Structure 1
């Protein structure tokens, strides 16, 4: 294309996945450009900077080595769970340490990507500080993140509210001061659970509008002592290896004991120990918690008892108990004094399931029975998860096939990595992969390394393009659904299913079989000459149908 810059690869997104992918591509000698719509690197953590924002995976395990063990040794994590500021510091350190910034174009939003079958290249159009530009690239790699497109409910009258409106997924960079204000927070998912205790410390009044209660467990966060950090660093090689060989992507062994085969007093002690320890690991203490409703009910009952012991008002405590779905079928929250916050005199819980929001007025929130006057409104309403960022780009593959049309009934991928009809386009931690059901950083690391090695295979064997074979793609989607149907995940109307976005297809998007099983399958496919991929030779477009049936 005339005027287009020629590169080997375009990567979209400057979070963990994009930064590591860029590093690997450069090490392979490929001329690569990373496009990022934000004004800085960091991905999810660039945008989610609301008060209380922190990761629910412990610092050493949420970090990535970037294939450089020295990075593990030199970085000093300060707390058990990293907050947004520390994660941003780490990501910026990575960008500087590996000299990645020279190939990163910030404030650059990708508008379209079109595959040219005559040249086997992608034409990627983006809008940046200098206007609209186009890159022509052999590879098009989507590192757009699972939680990167805010979901803004279409509340009637929202545009008329005269106070300030914020979304947790698109928080201002300047400090927001709620001191002395009447604040409303809509949503009690992970972001809301972290934000609410912090806002309550400043606001004169805080109204929490809850439609569905969530399960939350204490983080028990605190400083990482020098002794603890030294021990972790000493054991990092072993820790990294363990993370690669568990279903959760964490260094703790996968559970083998069953609640159904364990005395109740032992089960309760295990739950109690993990409640005291903190972290969402409580949902992974027994092997049948995600597949057996009766076993799961025991954990739900345990959490309900904890709520009763914390929240002073019995009516409020009852409203805070999730009862409509199993523990873990929606992402369990990890909090710092969330339930305790409802003991404050300036905090009111508004149950909008029994008294739904009808509109946003000029002065606040109106429900069927009451109007709440507010000075500021926070939407903690989550994301158009996993597919939102991809569907926002006009992507056209072979024969003008559009991703929006191909995914109209839900995402179709092979391994979550490749899409039939979209050659040399790869998705990192996307739908059809373990990603959000595991330690996502460990999942990202596996994806980046697999894609990098696949690109190396293509060049070594003189292949021009690679794409999923439709038969294998359908088999993989069926397998993802088969595994999900064996679990309790489908009982929760979660963003795993797209249930939080009106009109979005109800399809279970992540792979629930665990990172270890997924990694083994990916390695098996690679060992079999990338079984299931249509590989096209450079000469005369001769095709190797690794996935022919």
Structure 2
């Protein structure tokens, strides 16, 4: 009888058998598929989406990008190109989600149940769901009353919505809100932005790339040099913090540096500045003052200046302790006569109505369309929304309900042969996505290959190593300015979610050293082929983690 036809010890009948099941057909999932498949492993990728893709480009050097920050249509074309070149789609099943996954302690394999009714039996279960896979919508009163068009940005129709001449509201000014507002502002009849916290946006400095220049850079090995260099920078970018503190420069020197970083665009003003910017509040204040001066100069209305870019004495949060969004024309949109902004902390939403939103100051606002740019249950949400049960029968959601526990930001105890990347307690939010996906991806691929070459049935983080890593992540965060801000970095954007450091703040080079050292020591901190008590599932809940 083939493994696919067997009824497993937990009563689940598998319909097919794989070496590896990978969840997510973005960059991370496709990276795993390509390299594991090259090594001879039988793999399958599943994804809820209807096409390949993600938010970040790969390092295919024979592809030529048209602009500095590719638009989503270009990213789609890129993924189509990679698919054709590497023949990925044959092992990818789209429009299919994972309903549940359960580790069978008898066979030491995973049973993964899909939304189409399939159950896949596999040895390794790799989650590449990304840090923003689960959208979040606050429980606003009366939302079910509203009769107009309403969508969260994550579910915004691909074909778009006819907005010309319409009265539109955008709730939220995080990354998706900023992108939405600057795009639709010139189109709509009237736009009302309902802002909880100002976004300390940075100039994208978008521009077209010269194909001839790009070709010369590739020919001279420039791309390879950049890829090598970024692994040695704090954020995994092609730039890094300065080897000096802010108090080593005069005010005039600081301003000169800030001007240079500002003109460079992207995240340079955040992650290529003084090395103590995210540790020393006084230095941070100088950056905030520069940001406010630059931003306020672009906003004409004095009231809007104070709402969108407050002065230091009304600072919404320390600069850089929430991810700054990159923008092109965001602040200019507010200079339009048809655009208003409501500060929700001063004037909260009272209730939704059939025609729009009523504010607590008595205003009754009518809208044809409401766009919810209210963010995501970030970093952990995409993982815990899947019903995943480990060796003790406890779900991942229950295990992490009062705090997240991982080892190396890629594994968690009692969930053997399960790995995740670009998730909790890795450098995720503090680093460049492609860099982290490649570094963690390589580590996971090597770990799987180690198990196979050494005939190991299971690889499972110990509770001790998990507790040590979680403490390490918290300690790294505690010496920064991040804990002083309520952000999704700290899990503070979703009511009831534990407030904790969800990201590794030690930088990419240190993370690489620490994870590499574990591997070089024969994967220290992991148990291999540990015996599991099949008669006491559910009784081995670690009191430290759930009480």
- With normalisation by structure 2, the TM-score equals 0.92
Distance 1:166 1:19 in 2: 29
Distance 1:252 1:76 in 2: 21
Say if 2:51 is the partner of 1:40: yes
Say if 2:326 is the partner of 1:341: no
Cα offset, 1:95, TM superposition? 2.1
Deviations 1:505-549 (A, max 9, x none): 1111010111111011111111111111111289xx9xxxxxxxx
Distance 2:322 2:159 in 1: 32
For 1:202-213, what aligned pairs fall within 5 Å after superposition? 202-213=187-198
Contact 2:262–2:268, Cα closer than 8 Å, also in 1: no
Considering only aligned residues, what root-mean-square deviation do their CA atoms show, in Å? 1.5
Contact 1:14–1:42, Cα closer than 8 Å, also in 2: yes
For 1:262-281, what aligned pairs fall within 5 Å after superposition? 262-281=249-268
Deviations 1:320-352 (A, max 9, x none): 125131111000111011111111101001111
Report the equivalent of 1:546.
none
Distance 2:260 2:332 in 1: 20
Out of 417, 424, 429, the position equivalent to 1:436 is 429
For 1:271-420, what aligned pairs fall within 5 Å after superposition? 271-284=258-271, 285-321=273-309, 323-369=315-361, 370-420=363-413
Report the equivalent of 1:521.
514
Report the equivalent of 1:113.
101
Report the equivalent of 2:458.
465
Deviations 1:406-431 (A, max 9, x none): 11112110011111000000011110
Out of 247, 252, 268, the position equivalent to 1:260 is 247
Report the equivalent of 1:25.
36
Report the equivalent of 2:85.
97
Contact 2:166–2:190, Cα closer than 8 Å, also in 1: yes
Say if 2:58 is the partner of 1:64: yes
| Gap runs ≥5 in structure 2 | 1-6, 8-12, 535-547
Contact 1:5–1:134, Cα closer than 8 Å, also in 2: yes
Report the equivalent of 2:167.
182
- With normalisation by structure 1, the TM-score equals 0.91
Say if 2:25 is the partner of 1:14: yes
Out of 85, 89, 97, the position equivalent to 2:73 is 85
Q: How many positions carry a matched residue from both structures?
A: 513
Distance 2:20 2:466 in 1: 24
Distance 1:149 1:274 in 2: 33
Cα offset, 1:253, TM superposition? 3.7
Distance 2:284 2:499 in 1: 23
Report the equivalent of 1:483.
476
Deviations 1:374-412 (A, max 9, x none): 110001111110111111111111121211111111211
Distance 1:182 1:84 in 2: 26
Deviations 1:102-130 (A, max 9, x none): 110111110110001111100000113xx
**Pair 199,450 (structure 1): closer, same or farther in 2 beyond 3 Å:** same
Matched residue SS, 1:155: coil
Contact 2:66–2:211, Cα closer than 8 Å, also in 1: no
Cα offset, 1:307, TM superposition? 2.2
Matched residue SS, 2:297: helix
Cα offset, 1:227, TM superposition? 4.1
Matched residue SS, 2:244: coil
Say if 2:494 is the partner of 1:501: yes
Distance 1:338 1:20 in 2: 34
Contact 1:463–1:537, Cα closer than 8 Å, also in 2: no
Distance 1:213 1:525 in 2: 41
Report the equivalent of 1:249.
236
Q: Is the deviation greater in 197-206 or in 157-166?
A: 157-166
For 1:129-140, what aligned pairs fall within 5 Å after superposition? 132-140=117-125
